Amino acid sequence: MTLESRRIGWELLVAALLFVPTAGHATGAPAEEGHEAVRVHYIEIVCRDVAAERAVLERVHGLSFGAAVEDLGGAQVASAPEGTQIGIRAPLGEHEQPIIRTYVEVDDIARAIEAAQAAGAVVAYPPTKQGDTGTWAIYVVGDVQHGLWQPSHD
């Protein structure tokens, strides 16, 4: 796969995530009993060329990115119209590969990560407080990473 085709694939994925309404909210249907409605809180784009990704997302989607946020690994963050935050940052080390990771908002991150683990997921990062922005966790199913986010409620 060429770098250009990979970039186009990322752009299509981000576009889909930005404009596909979240479950429950789109249909007006309540969440399944005992489960929360799905709401994408944060889309994290880790890439080697932050300026290029930012330029495409600003031009295609009209997003406006702010200055780097240290609490989010130096990500430059924009807000989509429905409230989802989109962050673009460079890898934090040689070990980190480019990825788009979606963080789904949860009310109880400890309960959610336990449920993921009970269903067979591997916990890559346990619930971790992230400055004033909230608490995040990452679990892996097969070779796919999933993020959870519990916002801070001050």
DSSP characters over 70-126? GGGTTEEEEE-TTS-EEEEE--SSTTPPPEEEEEEE-S-HHHHHHHHHHTT-EEEEE
Burial (CB < 10 A; 0-12, 13-18, 19+), residue 120, is exposed
At 37 the pLDDT is: 78
Given CA atoms 54, 139, 103, 134 in this order, what sign does their dihedral have?
negative
Distance CA 51, CA 73 (A): 16
Phi-psi region of 115 (alpha: psi -120 to 50; beta: other; left: phi over 0): alpha
Can you give the pLDDT at residue 8?
45
In the prediction, which pLDDT does 35 show? Answer: 65
Q: Supply the pLDDT for residue 133.
A: 84
Cβ neighbourhood burial of 24 (10 Å; 0-12, 13-18, 19+): middle
Residuewise pLDDT in 10s, the chain (154 residues)? 455 544 444 444 444 444 333 333 333 444 566 666 789 999 999 999 999 999 999 999 999 999 999 989 999 999 998 899 999 999 999 999 999 999 999 999 999 999 999 999 999 999 999 888 899 999 999 999 999 999 987 6
C-alpha 121 chain-centroid distance: 18
Kindly list the structural domains of the chain, giving each domain's residue range(s) and its CATH number in brackets, ordered by start.
Answer: 1-100 (3.30.720.110), 106-154 (no CATH)
Please name the helix (run of DSSP H) or strand (run of DSSP E) that holds residue 57, with its range, or none: helix 50-61
